[in-house]
Structure 1
């Protein structure tokens, strides 16, 4: 394995040369072209005063400039701070101030809104050679901000070794082939397009980067580009499944869909509909890949089992709470500027994921919701993920989010925010239909007490609903909501 990301890029450019590496809607770049352009940009950054260890933010949409900027910053010995291109003033200022970024690489669209020095790539001109800096595998490559759903994000300090191990683990598990094509639809500021970029450098295969995730456009894009590998997560699988079936569904080259959070009841239907294997990949920004199901692990289909730890990782459940605990490599160095949070996350020598798990007789772990994504109703804990999964099975429901709202009697009550599929009308009849469906499948105390219909949700870069926007403390959570409980007992 190579020691650093620039080492891997140099090796791939020598080995694969003019083979296609990055494919965007309007542009295609070879391995050699990316190596040359990132070298030029690294020299331009050094000429602007960027030094090893400096933090440089990158705020762009899914355009070629994103991976070029990332690789150039690393080649200059600096640290990349990925910034969600949808951030507005408060989030943007938090990340730039917290990271201590010396500059931001961006596009003309975002440049006017960025405090401090901001450069578009076309202004980074000149012929300065890339700086001759020594980079070690344990040097930090990214301040990767977690896409927190309930609070301001924290920066995970991720090393070159972290990224290379993460990509190598997946490359080994998926049995990379010479004719593979990786396709990704998440924002580049999030983890996944970054480690898949490295996976493509390892295998000498192209990465197709879609501008954004589109449920209606995903499989047509897979057919157009001949994609064989992809990774989806969050709300993406269910949104794909809710698209009308098409005679073209199985007309694709896809051989493997990696997914975090496959609905067990739909797992086999996914594989049959699109004619590709779907396999679980479980991990986090803090710890990389922790569990992965191999392509040949057909016995996991429909069970919810998340696979086995890759080499270098140990995974177990906390005996008291059932929380999933992880140790080994790769692992973040800690949270930047948050030593207390780092110590708490790694108490007892294990990284505490905040996820709940259930272990089956074969030792496999299934996901059972978030430790913090719970509603405490009287003496009962309600997993938001469990209720959301059931609500999502109703034909009217496109997407849903369950949150706790204060209640004098019970402490908290569950409230469901629901986005409807086209053709369904928001109103009490629809709300009661969804609740009747839930009553057939959930314990009585888990049934939402209130339903509020919304046009859409703000999503994190990992395609999860950003619940902090639903939990504004000044908001009256009952105003505009439909009470759906039959009785408060």
Structure 2
């Protein structure tokens, strides 16, 4: 049993409080004044204190106003990899009263054109590696030709600008980000997120975990995604350093945790499974982790993840639209291995409803909906989409959940289902079972057309290193699922893949997977049992 540090008791009443400082600009100013020499950001290229980042962001904000004409409410895009200039650009834009538009640094021409046009960004901060793409987009699109390009600037090149923050009014309800969702179904939508949204996220996560100034947080996701940003808000809240890795690598992640003496990290999607599939090492418990927060901890691996690395792993649930809704506190050991998401944070209400919006009984699946703070203001320039998702003050998440044992457990996505005959099959449920096999790294389950049943279940399987991608392997994996799944949920088809296309949040992009499979079809094994009548 993993023991929770009794000396770091969680102040539960703090979760219900409003953050005392409700702007990111204010948080940075507070930490810079209180602890200017404390480390704040650590990247591969070096580390910077709160005082240094405060000076850098103030000078860059002054430059954006004086040279680039940025005014309150103007959208400023950021297209950079995981380098220190990313959070500096973000905080500078906010200090200037602007609205940050994070752009995935792996985007190509069509993606970049869409985000710049949709957001109405007037300025784009980027680097030399991405400048040719930006120039190509500006040259090819008359309506984007006037977008001003600012190269990410080192602190030493900004000394002609004052180091004090601009006198720009910024409040908790000031729009901070147009945060684009991963876009797994068509082009992404931009969530309108305020300063209060980010500061609440930092406040809640600090209060729920008991983190403080002596901790070290670590992240490995692209900074354009929301998680490194809320990790930044967390570290601004507690006055602790944030370590930012260039990218996520399952083989090297825990070595970085040890190297940087990280006490906290957040992982999501397939990351826990990919980490667990790495060969065990005698050094696995040689780390300083106090707690790991995760979205979608594999229930079957939960206890093993804790035992292997010697720290509590706890579920946190939210979306870009809603920030944080549910969290399992460190002392909630009964949640381990249950698949439950924990309890609603005090500033949120949660319901599980049927298609008519009526609450379903405990133990029955329905859509999880949420209300309260933090919450997006809506989707940028998409009133119809906003109205469909935010109804009567409730955000409809699209997640299927059940209420049980005083908590909530996800069972799938409303749209991520296979309709086989008269049965609805949650793809996530089948994927979780298949991934319990030691020879499987990750899976993606989809529906494929079938004349008899309408759809049949197909599993794309990424095998572990050294595992033969053969019919015999496919049959063994499927046979192992037969005592865990109803017969109609068992995949009929299996196709082995070397990897999966992924969203910035490390979830499998099924649209991209389908497109890749259509363009380059692989060998598919039909494993229909004899005399299968459904």
TM interval, shorter chain, is over 0.9
| 1:225-267 alpha-carbon deviations (Å, 9 max, x no partner) | 1111111100000011111111101111101000111122211
Within 5 Å, which residues of 2 pair with 1:28-427? Answer: 28-46=47-65, 47-114=67-134, 115-116=137-138, 117-122=148-153, 125=158, 127-129=160-162, 130-318=165-353, 319=359, 322-360=366-404, 362-427=405-470
Could you tell me how far 1:471 is from its partner in structure 2? 2.7
Which whole-Å CA distance do the structure 2 matches of 1:4 and 1:384 have between them? Answer: 40
Task: Output the CA distance in 2 between the equivalents of 1:477 and 1:311.
Answer: 49
Instruction: State the distance in 1 between where 2:197 and 2:171 align.
Output: 12
What is the rounded CA distance, in whole Å, between the counterparts of 2:86 and 2:522 in structure 1? 42
- Check whether the contact 1:259–1:281 (CA below 8 A) recurs between aligned residues: yes
Distance 1:122 1:301, change over 3 A: same
2:201–2:233 contact (8 Å) kept in structure 1: no
Q: Quote the Cα distance in structure 2 between the aligned partners of 1:479 and 1:400.
A: 15
Residues 59-84 of structure 1: CA distance to partner in whole angstroms, max 9, x if unpaired?
11111011001001111111111111
CA distance in 2, matches of 1:269, 1:86: 34
Instruction: Report the CA distance between 1:3 and its aligned residue.
Output: 2.9
Q: Is the 8 A contact 1:82 1:143 kept in 2?
A: yes
Q: Is the 8 A contact 2:24 2:195 kept in 1?
A: yes
User: TM-score when scaled to structure 2?
Assistant: 0.88
RMSD over aligned Cα atoms: 1.8
Cα distance, 1:118–1:457 mapped onto 2, change above 3 Å: farther
Q: Which runs of 4+ in 1 moved over 4 A?
A: 123-126, 476-479
Shift of 1:432: 1.6
> What residue is the counterpart of 1:463 in the other structure?
506
Unaligned runs of 5+ in 1: none
Deviations 1:407-463 (A, max 9, x none): 232222222111121101222222222221222321111122222222211211111
- Which segment drifts farther, 20-29 or 117-126? 117-126
Matched, 1:9 2:34: no
Verify the 8 A CA contact 1:137 1:159 in the aligned structure 2: yes
Does the residue aligned with 2:515 lie in a helix, a strand or coil? Answer: coil
User: C-alpha distance in 2, partners of 1:482/1:399?
Assistant: 17
- Please give the alpha-carbon distance, in whole angstroms, between the structure 1 residues aligned to 2:368 and 2:36: 43
| Cα deviation 1:29-72 (Å, max 9, x = unaligned) | 00000000001111111121222111111111111011001001
Query: Aligned in 2, Cα 1:466/1:474: closer, same or farther, shift over 3 Å?
Result: closer
Distance 1:474 1:301, change over 3 A: closer
Contact 1:327/1:350 (8 A) holds in 2:
yes
- Aligned residue for 1:475, secondary structure, equals helix
Quickly say closer, same or farther: Cα 1:464–1:23, change in 2 above 3 A. same
What's the CA shift string for 1:137-182, capped at 9, x where partnerless?
A: 1111000011132322100000001111111011111112332111
Q: Contact 2:180–2:189 at 8 Å: present in 1 too? A: yes
Give deviations 1:378-426, integer Å, cap 9, x for gaps: 1111111111111111222111111122223222222211112110122
SS at match of 2:186: coil
**Are the structure 2 counterparts of residues 217 and 484 from structure 1 closer, same or farther at C-alpha, using a change threshold of 3 Å?**
same
2:190 and 2:237 map into 1 onto residues whose CA distance is 26
CA distance in 1, matches of 2:90, 2:402: 38
The Cα offsets for residues 451-485 of structure 1, whole Å up to 9 and x where unpaired, read as: 22222112111110111112339938976422222
Runs of 5+ consecutive residues of structure 2 not aligned to the other structure: 1-19, 139-147, 354-358
For 2:381 and 2:516, the matched residues in 1 are separated by 26
**CA distance in structure 1 between the aligned counterparts of 2:330 and 2:179, rounded to whole angstroms:** 29
Relative to structure 1, is the Cα distance of residues 476 and 192 closer, same or farther in structure 2, using a 3 angstrom cutoff? closer
**Secondary structure of residue in 2 paired with 1:276:** coil
Q: How does 1:426-445 map to 2 (within 5 A)?
A: 426-445=469-488
**Contact 1:263 / 1:304 at 8 angstroms: preserved in 2?**
yes
